[in-house]
């Protein structure tokens, strides 16, 4: 087995961890994980949220604003889940640090993993998710995967 070179959104690796219980398996990423080159993790599950779970969006900004407590994460049952998102981001980032990983491949459009786009009122807008914001803050190279 190779040493892991990157950390990836678990849903891209074929895990059924999305809010709706689905996966977003990407064949190249599934292969990287099989070869031991990538570690799959889901920040929302790491943060204590279940599968399935109510969908969530960032309100008042993007992931960077959540980190600086200027924005919140609210689910579609109108509950605030900011703390779970922040905890998941911390745990995801800690794993990367522990393994000496400096690159992440993240699922675009997610309120945790989005890199260039996230949803706002069910429309895609520019911005990153909470975990991506923390990875970027910590100096990782983050690439978006659709
Ligand atoms: S996009 Fe990120 S938070 Fe959402 S299911 Fe995939 S790994 Fe989990």
In the reported structure, the alpha carbon of residue 12 is separated from the centroid of ligand 1 by a whole-number distance in angstroms of: 8
The answer to whether position 39 is within a domain reads yes
Q: Which residues sit opposite 125 in a β-bridge?
A: 118
Q: Assign 104 to helix, strand or coil.
A: strand
- Which domain, by its residues, includes 139? 6-145
In the reported structure, the alpha carbon of residue 65 is separated from the centroid of ligand 1 by a whole-number distance in angstroms of: 19
pLDDT at 3: 82
The answer to whether position 1 is within a domain reads no
The answer to whether position 115 is within a domain reads yes
Q: Is residue 116 within 8 Å of 128, Cβ to Cβ? A: yes
- Terminal CA-CA length for the chain: 27
Total of domains in the chain: 1
pLDDT in tens, 52-107: 999 999 999 999 999 999 999 999 999 999 999 999 999 999 999 999 999 999 99
Q: Which residues, judged by CB distance below 6 Å to any ligand atom, belong to the binding site of ligand 1?
A: 9-11, 17-18, 42-44, 107, 110, 112-113
pLDDT in tens, 123-135: 999 999 999 999 9
Cα–Cα distance, 33 to 6 (Å, whole number): 9
The answer to whether position 85 is within a domain reads yes
Task: Report the predicted TM-score, pTM, of the whole model to 2 decimal places.
Answer: 0.98
Residue 40 CA: which ligand 1 atom is closest? 7
pLDDT at 1: 56
Q: Is residue 54 within 8 Å of 76, Cβ to Cβ? A: yes
Q: Assign 86 to helix, strand or coil.
A: helix
The answer to whether position 137 is within a domain reads yes
The answer to whether position 53 is within a domain reads yes
């Amino acid at each position: 087995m190779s040493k892991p070179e990157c950390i990836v959104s678990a849903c891209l690796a074929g895990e059924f961890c999305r809010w709706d219980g689905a996966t977003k398996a990407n064949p190249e990423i599934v292969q990287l994980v099989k070869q031991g080159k990538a570690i799959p993790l889901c920040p929302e599950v790491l943060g204590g949220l279940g599968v399935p779970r109510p969908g969530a969006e960032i309100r008042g900004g993007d992931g960077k604003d959540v980190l600086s407590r200027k924005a919140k994460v609210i689910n579609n049952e109108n509950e605030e889940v900011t703390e779970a998102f922040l905890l998941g981001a911390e745990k995801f980032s800690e794993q990367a640090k522990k393994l000496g990983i400096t690159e992440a491949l993240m699922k675009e459009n997610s309120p945790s993993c989005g890199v260039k786009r996230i949803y706002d009122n069910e429309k895609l807008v520019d911005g990153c998710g909470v975990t991506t914001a923390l990875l970027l803050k910590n100096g990782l190279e983050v690439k978006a995967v659709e």
